[in-house]
Amino acid sequence: MEIVNFTPVPAFIGGALIGLSAAFLLLVKGRVAGISGIAGGIILPEKGDVPWRILFVLGLVLGGLIYQFFDLGPDVALIEAQTDKGMLIVAGLLVGIGTTVGTGCTSGHGICGLARRSPRSLVATLTFMASAMVTVFVVRHLGGA
């Protein structure tokens, strides 16, 4: 194992902002800041419950724009996809299907569910972490995919 690009301080600050956002959404709207759940309710609309979801997602994009405008970290022009477009399609489909079937993603289960000490979210988080690590091992070290 070799440790690379370790950036604990921005990681922790960014994480704290995410936690603050989740706490704020719960306090004000009584909703869980699970991105797959929020986006899912736009993609196949939850009747009478769509506008706030759209504004939340617009906020995500706005947050990304603010980061770029104020140069708050590495230049986004340096970001490169980790695989080709064919595999990106597979990745996107799996993330969409998996988060819908498993009722949550890194934020909903990982940040919000664990904060509520939900046993379901603990199992979900351990499952997708393990699955992701095995997948990376297969792709990078066994030369699969």
Partner 1 sequence: MMPLIAALAAGTLFGLGLAIAGMIDPAKVVNFLDIFGTWDPSLAFVMGGGLLVNAIATPFIMRRKTPILAEFFRTPTKHQVDKRLIIGGVLFGAGWGIGGYCPGPMLTSLSFANSDIIVVVGAYIVGTFLARTMLRAWERDQQAQAQRDQQSCVE
Q: Give the footprint of partner 1 on residues 22-41 (CB under 8 A).
A: 22-33, 35-36, 39-40
When asked if residue 12 is in the footprint of partner 1 (CB under 8 A), the reply is: yes
When asked if residue 50 is in the footprint of partner 1 (CB under 8 A), the reply is: no
| Nearest-approach distance from CB 99 to partner 1, in angstroms | 5
- Cα four-point dihedral sign 117, 102, 136, 92: negative
Task: Find the binding residues for partner 1 in span 72-111 (CB under 8 A).
Answer: 72-74, 76-77, 79-83, 85, 87-103, 105-107, 110-111
When asked if residue 47 is in the footprint of partner 1 (CB under 8 A), the reply is: no
Q: Please compute, for residue 62, the number of CA atoms within 13 A of its CA located in the half-sphere on the CB side.
A: 6
Size of the site for partner 1 (CB under 8 A): 114
When asked if residue 119 is in the footprint of partner 1 (CB under 8 A), the reply is: yes
d(CA 97, CA 112): 20
Non-local CB neighbours of 72 within 8 Å, separated by 6+ positions: 66
The phi, psi pair for 103, rounded to 5°, reads 50, 40
